């Protein structure tokens, strides 16, 4: 440990915690204590307390609390040593000097920061010079102007040919008295080898400046301008300042924005982040040429409890999502997890935003699925569980995933959640009356929250990726999509009236705008509550007697192969469009209560089959 407890206590004593916290939170005095709305979770009434006497803060809503050092690590994503250095400087506390070796290393790092800053300015100047036209044309083609270039400190590395002969940056740094050893140590130049002189590390590339958590340039990413260049993207190699597995692109800006939004978005690349930030999603970051690492995951979680990982909806994107999910499992803890949003295949955030706008992207992010649902989908989608052995294998695979979770309470909730999914998909369906269990009971339907299927079975008309579905809903418009979904529900109920028995609670809870569907729902729930069996022929006769035959005729259509799965899917989609489950009418609640009462004390008529004449 670099700092003794006495020194840390002195920094705490000299730090005005109320003033420090007050930079981000509006505090109101009540007695000797300051109160405000917690910055770590959404709340309307203050439950966040700050006390200078105790030198601590505490939220009684979410449980977050700590001292001045914890405040900086939690709100600004600083490491503990960074927080100590910042507060010591503000409080006027002199930190102990290191050994001569420590001092030498620190001075070396400071000089490297200055050198990388010189390189960043050189690349920026080259972008605006006449020779930077190819890079400017590329950026314009991606919708970026001079303001964007300045905002993200974009630049241009000259080609290896020409007057500089591949030593343009080397010559520039030499003119600023930078030694060749320091250029190599900063990752800006390649050493001389095999008769070739020392030369620049980057050639003919658009340059992206990478910064540390304080916003200081520490490295670069370069995108090749030549179509056949390999690789397309390269980063600075490992240096004293930079390790690509420990940093995230745009992290300083995203960390500040995440405090306001409550989450942080992980995209796949530089251009994805730039497109998101320019569309208003400033809380976006990206890894640096690697898959997500444990250190990067730690940075995300220090910033927000549930980061959203936004991936392309193709096979590579799914693979990256699954890798991230497995990486996170051992580190899950109460309140900390991941969510996943998938773009339509063939699109990235840049192209999706250009075609659909920020509103569509916001809808896609809000529909992000939780980690547990992604794991379920990975284990079930496209697989056949028609035999007991395969279903047992699924349970074993899910159990192995749970076994990777280090926190026992989180693991227990995952275990119970997976058990419920297995019950919903297999055991409950096999017990439903009027179905061929061997044919329909063992079709796994991956779930996407609230027990609804994640996506339709392959081969159906709706079997498209979540990203495509989100994009289609955006283009069609919420009103039109809602009308289409309610029509689909009406057709399912008309073709399989017994859904009002088997899915009564879900049906009663739907917020329905179509008066015809609401009337159909009410009548079917009424029949279900009266103990009728709801056989199709009997229901048709009943509606005809009441002069409601046209109601069934309006929703006439072909029966679905799996009415239960189709109903659950449509109900979930409708809830997503409406934004809740608050539309349950008083009549629906009353009929549902009647049905529950009948299930506890069955009426003989509840088991009575249709008499063949349509009487129910």
What pLDDT is stored for residue 78 in this prediction? 84
Question: Based on the domain organization, do 314 and 416 belong to the same domain?
Answer: yes
Question: How would you class 331 by CB atoms within 10 Å of its CB: exposed for 0-12, middle for 13-18, buried for 19 or more?
Answer: middle
What pLDDT is stored for residue 329 in this prediction? 96
What pLDDT is stored for residue 309 in this prediction? 97
The answer as to whether 538 is a domain residue is: yes
Domain boundary residue, one of 179, 202, 235: 235
Residue 512 confidence (pLDDT) above 50: yes
Question: Based on the domain organization, do 327 and 421 belong to the same domain?
Answer: yes
The answer as to whether 37 is a domain residue is: yes
The pLDDT of 513-530, averaged and rounded, is 84
The answer as to whether 613 is a domain residue is: no
Question: Based on the domain organization, do 262 and 214 belong to the same domain?
Answer: no
Q: Which two tokens stand for residue 568?
A: 């659950």
What pLDDT is stored for residue 461 in this prediction? 36
Residue 383 confidence (pLDDT) above 80: yes
Question: Based on the domain organization, do 226 and 106 belong to the same domain?
Answer: yes
Distance of CA 325 to the CA centre of its chain: 11
Residue 581 confidence (pLDDT) above 50: no
Render pLDDT for 463-497 as a digit per residue (tens, 0 to 9).
Answer: 344 444 444 444 445 676 788 888 888 888 988 88
DSSP H or E segment with residue 107: helix 100-128
Question: Based on the domain organization, do 165 and 77 belong to the same domain?
Answer: no
Question: Based on the domain organization, do 458 and 524 belong to the same domain?
Answer: no
pTM of the entire structure? 0.60
The pLDDT of 124-147, averaged and rounded, is 95
Render pLDDT for 266-315 as a digit per residue (tens, 0 to 9).
Answer: 999 999 999 999 999 999 999 998 889 999 999 999 888 999 999 988 88
Gyration radius of the chain over CA positions: 30
Question: Based on the domain organization, do 273 and 408 belong to the same domain?
Answer: yes
The CATH number of whichever domain residue 375 belongs to comes to 3.40.1360.10
The pLDDT of 103-128, averaged and rounded, is 86
The CATH number of whichever domain residue 196 belongs to comes to 3.90.980.10
CA distances to 101, 163, 334, 404, 415 from 412, rounded to whole Å, are 49, 66, 11, 12, 5
Render pLDDT for 386-431 as a digit per residue (tens, 0 to 9).
Answer: 888 999 999 999 999 999 999 999 999 999 999 998 888 876 555 5
Give the structural domain span for 18: 5-91
* Total H helices, total E strands in the chain: 29, 16
The answer as to whether 616 is a domain residue is: no
Question: Based on the domain organization, do 350 and 499 belong to the same domain?
Answer: no
The CATH number of whichever domain residue 63 belongs to comes to 3.90.580.10
What pLDDT is stored for residue 425 in this prediction? 80
The answer as to whether 612 is a domain residue is: no
* Beta strands at 308-312 and 265-266: parallel, antiparallel or unpaired: parallel
Question: Based on the domain organization, do 462 and 491 belong to the same domain?
Answer: no
Residue 610 confidence (pLDDT) above 60: no
Q: How confident is the model at residue 602 (pLDDT cuts 50, 70, 90)?
A: very low
* Beta strands at 284-285 and 265-266: parallel, antiparallel or unpaired: parallel
The answer as to whether 43 is a domain residue is: yes
Render pLDDT for 246-277 as a digit per residue (tens, 0 to 9).
Answer: 999 999 999 888 878 889 999 999 999 999 99
Domain boundary residue, one of 458, 475, 492: 475
Segment among 186-200, 300-314, 437-451 with least mean pLDDT = 437-451
Question: Based on the domain organization, do 533 and 569 belong to the same domain?
Answer: yes
Q: What is the dihedral of CA 128, 133, 135, 136, to 10 degrees?
A: 70
Q: Which two tokens stand for residue 459?
A: 């081969």
DSSP 113-172: HHHHHHHHHHHHHHHHSGGGHHHHHHHHHTT--HHHHHHTTEEEEPPSSSTTTT-HHHHH
Domain boundary residue, one of 58, 91, 124: 91
The answer as to whether 34 is a domain residue is: yes
Question: Based on the domain organization, do 29 and 57 belong to the same domain?
Answer: yes
What's the domain count of the chain?
4
Question: Based on the domain organization, do 60 and 77 belong to the same domain?
Answer: yes
The answer as to whether 418 is a domain residue is: yes
């Amino acid at each position: 440990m670099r700092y003794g407890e006495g020194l840390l206590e002195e920094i705490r004593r000299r730090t005005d915690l109320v003033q420090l916290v007050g930079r981000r939170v509006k505090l109101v005095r009540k007695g000797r204590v300051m109160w405000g709305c917690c910055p770590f979770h959404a709340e309307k009434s203050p439950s966040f307390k700050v006390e200078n006497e105790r030198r601590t803060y505490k939220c009684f809503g979410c449980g977050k609390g700590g001292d001045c050092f914890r405040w900086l690590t939690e709100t600004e994503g600083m490491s503990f040593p960074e927080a100590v250095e910042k507060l010591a400087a503000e409080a006027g506390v002199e930190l102990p000097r290191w050994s001569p070796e420590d001092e030498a290393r620190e001075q070396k790092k400071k000089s490297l920061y200055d050198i990388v800053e010189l390189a960043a300015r050189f690349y920026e100047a080259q972008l605006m010079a006449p020779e930077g036209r190819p890079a400017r044309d590329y950026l314009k083609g991606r919708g970026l102007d001079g303001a964007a270039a300045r905002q993200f400190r974009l630049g241009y590395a000259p080609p290896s040919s020409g007057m500089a002969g591949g030593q343009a940056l080397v010559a520039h740094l030499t003119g600023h008295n930078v030694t060749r050893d320091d250029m190599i140590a900063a990752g800006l130049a390649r050493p001389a080898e095999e008769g070739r002189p020392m030369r620049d590390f980057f050639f003919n590339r658009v340059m992206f400046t990478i910064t540390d958590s304080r916003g200081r340039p520490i490295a670069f990413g370069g995108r090749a301008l030549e179509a056949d260049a390999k690789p397309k993207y390269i980063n600075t190699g490992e240096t004293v300042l930079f390790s690509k597995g420990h940093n995230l692109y745009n992290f300083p800006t995203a960390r500040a924005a995440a405090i306001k939004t409550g989450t942080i978005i992980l995209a796949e690349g530089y251009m994805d982040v730039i497109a998101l930030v320019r569309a208003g999603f400033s809380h976006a970051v990206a890894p640096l040429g690697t898959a997500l690492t444990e250190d990067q995951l730690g940075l995300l979680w220090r910033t927000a409890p549930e980061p959203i990982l936004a991936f392309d909806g193709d096979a590579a994107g799914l693979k990256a999502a699954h890798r991230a999910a497995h990486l996170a499992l051992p580190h899950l803890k109460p309140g900390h997890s991941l969510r996943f949003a998938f773009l339509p295949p063939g699109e990235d955030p840049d192209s999706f935003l250009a075609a659909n706008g920020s509103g569509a992207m916001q809808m896609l992010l809000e529909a992000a699925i939780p980690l547990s649902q992604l794991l379920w989908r990975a284990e079930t989608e496209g697989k056949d569980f028609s035999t007991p052995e395969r279903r047992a294998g699924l349970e074993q695979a899910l159990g192995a995933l749970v076994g990777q979770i280090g926190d026992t309470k989180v693991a227990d909730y995952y275990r119970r959640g997976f058990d419920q999914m297995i019950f919903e998909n297999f055991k409950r369906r096999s017990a439903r009356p009027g179905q061929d269990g061997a044919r329909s009971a063992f079709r796994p339907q991956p779930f996407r929250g609230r027990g609804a299927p994640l996506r339709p079975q392959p081969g159906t008309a709706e079997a498209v990726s979540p990203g495509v579905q989100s994009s289609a809903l955006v283009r069609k418009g919420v009103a039109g999509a809602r009308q289409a979904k309610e029509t689909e529900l009406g057709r399912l109920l008309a073709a399989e009236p017994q859904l009002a028995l088997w899915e009564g609670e879900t049906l009663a809870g739907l917020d329905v705008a179509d008066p015809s569907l609401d009337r159909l729902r009410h009548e079917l729930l009424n029949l279900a509550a009266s103990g009728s069996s709801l056989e199709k022929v009997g229901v048709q006769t009943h509606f005809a007697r009441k002069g409601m035959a046209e109601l069934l005729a309006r929703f006439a259509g072909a029966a679905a192969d799996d009415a239960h799965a189709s109903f659950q899917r449509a109900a979930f989609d409708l809830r997503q469009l409406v934004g809740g489950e608050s539309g349950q009418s008083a009549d629906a609640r009353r009929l549902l209560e009647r049905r529950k009462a009948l299930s506890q004390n069955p009426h003989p008529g509840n088991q009575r089959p249709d008499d063949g004449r349509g009487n129910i």
